[in-house]
Amino acid sequence: MIDEKEVMQVAELARLKLSPEEIRRFASQLSQILDYIRQLNEVDTSSVEPMSHPLDLTNVFREDAVKPSLTAEEALANAPEKRGGFFLVPQVLDGTGPE
Amino acid sequence: MKPVHTQTASELLEAQESRRMTAEEIVRASLDRIERLDGSVKAFVSVRAKEALSEARSIDERRARGERVGRLAGIPVALKDNICTRGWETTCCSKMLKNFRPPYDATVVEKLRGADAILVGKTNMDEFAFGSSTENSAFFTTRNPWDLERVPGGSSGGSAAAVAAGFVPLAFGSETGGSVRQPAGFCGVVGVKPTYGLVSRYGLIAFGSSLDQISPVARDVRDAALLLGVAGGHDERDSTSIDAPAGDYLAELDRPTGKMRLGIAREYFGEGIEPDVRKRILDAVEVFRKLGFEITEISLPHSRYAVAVYYVAAVAEASSNLARFDGVHYGHRTSEKTDMVDMYSVSREEGFGDEAKRRIMLGTYVLSRGYYDAYYLKALKVRRRMKEDFDRAWETVDAVLCPTSPTTAFKVGARADDPLSMYLSDVFTIPANLAGIPGISIPCGFDGRGLPVGMEIMTPSGEESRLFRIARAYEQATEFHLRCPEL
């Protein structure tokens, strides 16, 4: 039900660099699970609202007042790489401007 | 005097108040037992012995000075390793978060500290709470104290095993689809999932935000009620937290239940239930009848879709919640030289185990364009139908009773290659998470192999008091909660 090509597409969306073996194995396992899930189509839901949450919450706000929060140092404490108070990552922009 | 490891937290509190025991003796007994026996059970991923003893001594000193101490003073407590503890490694038992030290305490941790509880260790779990056996931990598998060849259940297997083995009288696990009730059932202890929103999720590393609840594990119902009373209550740091204080469940606990009506849903007694499990539950129904409860057969027609709904809704939420693990701010980053996008993809590939990858992909798939309506929205509509089944049930019964799981604990490795069969062990626990209602698992006997059988009770949203009273009435009439595994 989900072929290897689709698994690769989903893996890309999910930012997972799967091995060829994983793609094969997951295609088979996910197909089995999706097959099982298909039984939901038996249920008549034509007049039902989706239930995304047990509580009927709307706009849970607090006062827009400054409160203590993490210091920059605490926030950076687990960073794999940091520099000068920033999280350091590989270059995002390739340096060539718009044509 | 009973051995410390068989005493409840309530008994240990009383022992301290009457000066028969000190907090230091209690914590030392807990740590000694962990050191002696956790090599076989493997419930813990980290233990903080020195700090725990020092805190215990300090409580004894405060008591000696006549100072007031907290409601859980001197009681050793274990925490599932997805609950953030400031400065103390919190890993979700995943390579992705090895060496992650949270810069803050979860709200429940603050409450435990405020109650003078002694945090002894972090417990093993299925990675990111994805599992029903604790076999998906990236580190090792926890063993069931009743039979070390078998699983303790999951994903809070470490917490359930820690209480069952007598390492600690109280623990916290977390639930998304039954991850405390199911292992409590397998391990012969009490596990209770609160009404959604009763316990703050601040500091619980998220799996399914509309389903997750931090949940107590204890030796008996009284202790579970005690721990929930400490843990619950509105928290402005959790916008999904119910705007009400926790109840005083202990005060209500022994109030007579009178002629309460228990519902037995025919869909929960179909095929697939092990014969001994069915027998023990039916025996329990007889106990309730003798106690004066009215037993009524009801129908929850959409229960059969529980696993299907869950493996769409929960995995969708998981794929979103786990998107934050990208190697940027915390967690594993690949040491390979990559560009930005590959840094995400390779770090996540290296950091996540198989079940995490499966769920992330399934979640991504059901949320993607072209499939969102057919899968995700459809599942959420069936979810509402399941909730409506319960709403209808509450018109004629006060609580629903069923097996916690169709089987007792299975052998390590038995379901490892069949994800779907693993998912089906949660068929009776998932509905309470989907509906947001409270549920408890209590021991109700043993099967022919001497393995614990768990019984589940559910009540409407907010009716924890009623839930505890019903469970307590059964417990007072039986002795299963007093049995301990031989280790």
**Which one from B133, B137, B174, B179 is the annotated catalytic residue?**
B179
At residue B119, φ and ψ (nearest 5 deg) are -80, 110
pLDDT for the residue numbered B257: 85
- pLDDT score of A96: 56
Q: Is B1 within 8 Å of chain A by CB?
A: no
Q: Indicate whether this complex's ipTM tops 0.90.
A: yes
Distance from CA of B104 to the nearest CA of A (A): 8
Residues of A in contact with B323 (CB under 8 A): 15
Domains of chain A, earliest start first: 4-41 (1.10.20.60)
Chain B positions touching A50 (Cβ under 8 A) are 377, 380-381, 383-384
- % of chain A residues with pLDDT over 70: 94
Is B80 marked active-site? yes
The CA distance from A30 to B156, in Å, is: 25
Asked if residue B18 has pLDDT above 70, the reply is yes
Q: What is the DSSP letter of B203?
A: T
pLDDT at B411 over 90: yes
The reply to whether residue A48 touches residue B384, judged by beta carbons under 8 angstroms, is: yes
Picking from B242, B329, B342, the nearest residue to A17 by CB comes out as: B342
Dump pLDDT digits (tens) for B61-105: 999 999 999 999 999 999 999 999 999 999 999 999 999 999 999
- Which residue's structure tokens are 């119910």? B242
Q: What is the pLDDT of residue B244?
A: 86
Q: What are phi and psi of B218, to 5 degrees?
A: -155, 170
* Kind plus residue range of the DSSP H or E element containing B389: helix B378-393
**Per CATH, the architecture of B4-257+440-445+467-482 is what?**
Alpha-Beta Complex (3.90)
Give the Cα separation of B328 and B343 in Å (integer). 9
Residues B360, A32: C-beta atoms closer than 8 Å:
no
Does residue B155 have an active-site annotation?
yes
Alpha-helical runs (H) found in B120-195 = 157-164, 181-187
DSSP notation for A29-50? HHHHHHHHHGGGGGS--TT---
- CB contact, 8 Å: B338 with chain A? yes
CB pairs under 8 A between A and B: 159
Give the pLDDT confidence score for residue B246 in this predicted structure: 85
Contact A16 B420 (CB under 8 A): no
Contacts of B378 in chain A (CB under 8 A): 40-41, 45
Residue of chain A nearest B351, judged by CA positions: A16
Confidence band for A97, pLDDT divided at 50, 70 and 90? low
Q: Where are the domains of chain B?
A: 4-257+440-445+467-482
Assessment of whether the complete model's pTM goes beyond 0.95: yes
Stretch 2-41 of chain B: residues touching chain A, C-beta under 8 Å: none
More confident residue, B6 or B418: B6
Residues of B with CB below 8 A from A34's CB?
362, 365
Interface contact flag, A54 B305, Cβ < 8 Å? no
Residues of B in contact with A30 (CB under 8 A): 358, 361-362, 365
CB atoms within 10 A of CB A21: 8
Q: Which of B132, B133, B155, B215 is catalytic?
A: B155
Helix (H), strand (E), coil (C) string for B325-355: CCCCCCCCCCCCCCCHHHHHHHHHHHHCCHH
